[in-house]
Amino acid sequence: MRILLTGGCGFIGSAFVRMALSRGHEVTNLDKLTYAGNPANVADVADLPGYRFVHADIADPQAVAGALEGVDVVVNMAAESHVDRSILDPAAFPMTDVVGTAVLLDQARRAGVARFVQVSTDEVYGSIPEGAFRETDPLEPSSPYSASKAGGDLQALAWHRTYGMDVVVTRGSNTYGPRQYPEKLIPLFVTNALDSEPLPVYGDGQQIRDWINVDDHCAGVFAALEHGVAGEVYNVGGGNERTNLEITERILTLTGRDATLIRHVSDRPGHDRRYALATDKLRRLGWAPQVAFPDGLAGTVAWFQANRDWWEPIKSGAYRAYYDAQYGGREVPGS
């Protein structure tokens, strides 16, 4: 397939680029290179004949139309992706995650692509105290990020209903692995621990996330791309629920640090307590997660230990200003 992938210089997108090329597909990677987009993430494949890079915004119809020439299918991973940034400054989120998705959908429809995969998130469902979300459950997003993703997700389904476009939506759970920007829980805590810096745990740390390895997430998107039914939604979850404190303790052990680094800070506003996904629908397409969490987390920590030259430059400059705005003055006394 000739795939137009958006957001391929980000965390999951760059893993998807590598997987697609290794499976013999051609990839055009369209990326705006926001703070989260890093050309180093695809440096190892940049010179391969099946790879092409287009520096553009998914909300730019002309640039998108040009990139769509000769393309068979679209996988939309481009997004503003961080919940905390959406709380600090929401403006960019609907621009990319809603408007950009609509522009991309419409240009893809006009170009007559065979399939459009919208990469969405389990956060569109909101929080679930017990059991697991099914694809038919209502969307009740809590944050500006998840509300924006829900907007993109629903537009993709509307393009199927209105125009008969071949659209598939995936809703993935919390993803971890190499090259994740160090603003998210696991890469932030791993890199802070390696530098013996405090680990800021929100609230009581008993919130639950369902963690999936990045390659398992990409394989799930591929299963939906290759075998999904048009107009359908597929949950992509690891079946691997952990509290944030358990994640924190595992990271401390793997980095050889101790609990004195833990700092309880004030909770995230609108913080979802628990996510969990039923994944039998995607499993019926032949997909199942392959990476056991202890192995995947150990491999991720080893990658960050071995690649300081990747993350040390990121954690300076504009990142420091973000970090101070996000964490300054939040420590709970006595924690």
Residue 185 contact among ligand DAU, ligand NAD, none, beta carbon within 5 to 8 Å by kind: ligand DAU
Rounded distance between C-alpha atoms, residue 310 and residue 53, angstroms: 20
Q: Is 138 helix (H, G, I), strand (E, B) or coil?
A: coil
Rounded-to-integer distance, Cα 271 and Cα 41, Å: 30
* Residue 244 partner contact from ligand DAU, ligand NAD, none using kind-dependent CB cut-offs of 5 to 8 Å: ligand DAU
For residue 295, the tally of other CB atoms under 10 A from its CB is: 10
Indicate which residue of 57, 97, 123, 183 is catalytic. Answer: 123
> Which of helix, strand or coil describes residue 312?
coil
CA angle 165, 170, 176 (to 5 degrees): 150
Q: Does 263 bind ligand DAU (CB under 6 A)?
A: no
Could you give the CA distance from residue 245 to residue 249 in angstroms, rounded to a whole number?
A: 6
Cβ 188 to ligand DAU shortest distance, Å: 5
Read off φ and ψ for residue 28, nearest 5 degrees.
-100, 120
Pick between residue 57 and residue 166 the one whose CB is nearest to ligand NAD: 57
81 is an interface residue for ligand DAU by CB under 6 A: yes
Which residue sits closest to ligand NAD, CB atoms considered? 10
Which of 184, 200, 206 is closest to 300 using CA atoms?
184
Amino acid of residue 75 = V
**In terms of C-beta density within 10 A (0-12 exposed, 13-18 middle, 19 or more buried), how is residue 138 classed?**
exposed
Q: Is residue 244 near ligand NAD by the rule CB under 6 A?
A: no
Question: Judged by CB under 6 A, does residue 330 bind ligand DAU?
Answer: no
Residue 130 catalytic? no
Piece of 34-42, 133-141, 224-232, 326-334 that binds ligand NAD (CB under 6 A): 34-42
Q: How far is the CB of 49 from ligand DAU (least distance, A)?
A: 32
Residue pair 166/226 in contact by the 8 Å Cβ criterion: no
Q: Which does 117 bind (CB under 5 to 8 A by kind): ligand NAD, ligand DAU, none?
A: none
> Which residue among the candidates 125, 145, 176, 275 is catalytic per the annotation?
145
Interface residue with ligand DAU, options 94, 126, 200, 238 (CB under 6 A): 200
Q: How far apart are CA 168 and CA 116, in angstroms?
A: 6
Q: Which does 300 bind (CB under 5 to 8 A by kind): ligand DAU, ligand NAD, none?
A: none
Q: Pick from 18, 25, 115, 149: which binds ligand NAD (CB under 6 A)?
A: 149
For the residues of 148-189, what is the DSSP string, one character each? HHHHHHHHHHHHHHHH---EEEEEE--EE-TT--TTSHHHHH
Residue 78 CB, shortest distance to ligand DAU, in Å, is 12
Q: Is 145 a catalytic residue?
A: yes
Q: Which residues are catalytic?
A: 122-123, 145
**By the criterion CB under 6 A, which residues form the site for ligand NAD?**
6-7, 9-13, 31-34, 36-37, 57-59, 77-81, 96, 100, 119, 121, 149, 172, 174-175, 181
